[in-house]
Amino acid sequence: MAGLRPEDMLGRFPHQLSGGQRQRIMVARAMLMHPKVILADEPVSMVDASLRATILESLMKLKRELGISVVYITHDLTTAYQVSQNIYILYRGSVAEVGNVEKVIKDPLHPYTKLLVNSIPLPDPDIRWGTTTDVNVTPVLAGAMTESGHGCKFANRCPFVMAECHQQHPPLYRTNDDRAVACFLYKKEPQVDGSMMAEFLST
């Protein structure tokens, strides 16, 4: 199920296996317990692009065929987009934006999410270094990554910072049925508490 042949794996030590084989063995070990949820923390960070695709497909196959939920933790937005239904964007341990992955990645609302999405290289040879065709690029001030213990953690680096950003951490504002953003730019929208998040992400 994990894409390995037992006769090739049994009796071998970790140093005799490739990075991709070791990652697959970790998937197989997780499956031994017949889990309902797999917490996959950077499962493809140490493998090349071809192996990355096959390992992610293995995880998605387990989800489809066995009904296993996968919590996928990564710094790689491109793979998160490929395998996720919903996504949480975290900045320094706090939720910046949450919602349907298609909407969050294709139309980011939080300034930090915009920064992340716009940092993904575009495979277009006509775009030269230092230029862009994306009108939604968000400039980020070169502020230090410091925080005072209260207020928005992104405030010192945000080009849209307001006085209230330094005074309190913004709550999550619900911008539509399956989207919420922790930013005072959307303070006219209704607030979302933790008990509501699972409900609107399931729609």
Give 54-97 pLDDT, tens digit per residue. 888 888 888 888 888 899 999 989 889 988 999 999 999 889 99
Q: How far is CA 128 from the centre of its chain?
A: 28
Q: What is the pLDDT of residue 91?
A: 93
Q: What is the pLDDT of residue 148?
A: 54
Q: What is the pLDDT of residues 167-197, one digit of tens each?
A: 999 999 999 878 999 999 999 999 987 666 6
Q: What is the pLDDT of residues 144-174, one digit of tens each?
A: 555 556 789 999 889 999 999 999 999 999 9
CA end-to-end distance (rounded Å), the chain? 30
Walk me through the domains of the chain, giving residue ranges and CATH numbers: 1-84 (3.40.50.300), 87-203 (3.40.50.300)
pLDDT at 124 over 80: no
- What DSSP character marks residue 156? G
d(CA 39, CA 33): 13
d(CA 24, CA 146): 39
Query: By three-state DSSP, how is residue 174 classified?
Result: strand
- What DSSP character marks residue 176? E
CA neighbours within 13 Å on the CB side: how many for 195?
0
- The mean pLDDT value of the chain amounts to 83
Q: What is the pLDDT of residue 135?
A: 43
Query: 19-31 and 49-66 helices cross at what angle (nearest 10)?
Result: 10
pLDDT at 138 over 60: no
Q: What is the pLDDT of residue 137?
A: 47
Under a CB-based contact definition with an 8 Å cutoff, are residues 183 and 111 in contact? yes
pTM for the model stands at 0.78
Backbone angles phi, psi at 179, to 5 degrees: -155, 135
Q: What is the pLDDT of residue 87?
A: 94
d(CA 28, CA 30): 5
For the chain, give the percent of residues with pLDDT over 90: 33
